[in-house]
Amino acid sequence: MNLKGLEALRAFMEGGSLNGAAERLHRTQPQVSRLLAALEDEVGFALFTRTKRRLVPTTEAREFYSHVEHALYSLDDAMHAAQRVKARQRRHVRILTAPNITGALLGDAIATMTAEDPGFTAAIDSRSRLDIEKWLGREQFDLGITVLPMDNDAIDIEPIASIRAVAVMRHDHPLAGRRRINVRDLLGLPVIANAPRTVMRHCLDAAFRKIDATPTIRLETPNGIVACELAGLGVGVAVADGFVARSSLKPGMVILPFEPAIELRYVFILPKWQARTPTINRLTSLVRAAAIEEAALADLQWAEANDKHD
């Protein structure tokens, strides 16, 4: 299939018109029109309907384009990789992580890397843990950061640090004066929960099952930062990843130890077939150091809460 025709389709879908496509491709409108017409002949179905001198994509064209966009994105990535190899740039890292981890563990490490090495570059792809599992083996990456369990024969797994879940609420919440929050304390109270099938939600549901109860879930979100921010606004209590809660801390927000203890084990994931570069080694060391420091501070808070409780 003619690559120029596919690029013309992408330019049209992104530009919204023949004129927009021509500007993106630095071609004339008739040239783009001929490329699209040739592509229609190749695929064997209509890509556009013509209404009032305008081209309107058909339903089939939109379905087809969803695949074209993915293929061209992969091709663009390959071209960029070739350019980096040609320029002998070995300090580019493709990072795969959950969106709520960027601020918690990755941001400072990236800032340090850019300060230390002007040649360092990175592409950061934020996806949910469930999407990361689906992504493995289908896309290219150099380094991933996620939470166990994770089982895939194509990757190596290295531990980073463990963190306990915490309870997050506004300072004037009835439970805010406690030293720690037990799952029984949440009975009948509005809870802000992670979305179903997430690790955090699975652990929270298990904690309630142990006391033969169910949480009163007012709001659900796959993003732990959103859950903490909503809790900070006073709409409920969030039981959240300790790393995420600490990175989301704002004035008026209270973070307390939660029991029974929910331990989240963070790991690096790396493709087995790919050699590790000094850049990746340096980045992992920075992330691990930040995670261990944050986990130690969280453990100190937990120990202080236990001492005061005893």
CA 266 – CA 277 distance, rounded (Å): 21
CATH domain 161-264 topology: D-Maltodextrin-Binding Protein; domain 2 (3.40.190)
Tell me how far CA of residue 216 lies from CA of 84, 165, 204, 232, 257, in angstroms: 52, 18, 12, 18, 20
Instruction: Note the pLDDT of residue 308.
Output: 53
Strands (E), 54-154: 54-57, 92-97, 121-126, 143-147
Going from N- to C-terminal start, the domains of the chain cover: 3-86, 92-160+265-299, 161-264
Task: Using pLDDT thresholds of 50, 70 and 90, give the confidence band for residue 217.
Answer: very high
Q: How confident is the model at residue 134 (pLDDT cuts 50, 70, 90)?
A: low
pLDDT digits (tens, 9 = 90+) for 260-310: 999 999 999 888 877 788 899 999 999 999 888 888 887 776 666 555 544
**How far is residue 262's CA from residue 203's CA, in Å, rounded to a whole number?**
7
Residue range 92-160+265-299 in CATH 3.40.190.10:
yes
C-alpha neighbours within 13 Å on the C-beta side of residue 266: 28
Model confidence at 116: pLDDT above 70: yes
Burial of 36 (0-12, 13-18, 19+ CB in 10 A): buried
Domain 3-86 CATH assignment equals 1.10.3860.10: no
pLDDT band at 129 (very low <50, low <70, confident <90, very high): low
pLDDT at 103 over 80: no
Asked if 92-160+265-299 and 161-264 have one fold, the answer is yes
Report the run of H or E that residue 259 belongs to, with start and end: strand 253-259
- Cα(143)–Cα(123) distance, integer angstroms: 10
The upper half-sphere exposure of residue 259, i.e. CA atoms within 13 Å in the direction of its Cβ, equals 10
| pLDDT at 80 (0 to 100) | 72
- Whole-angstrom distance, CA of residue 123 vs CA of residue 146: 17
CB 91 within 8 Å of CB 277: yes
Q: What are 218-235's pLDDT values in tens digits?
A: 999 988 889 999 999 999
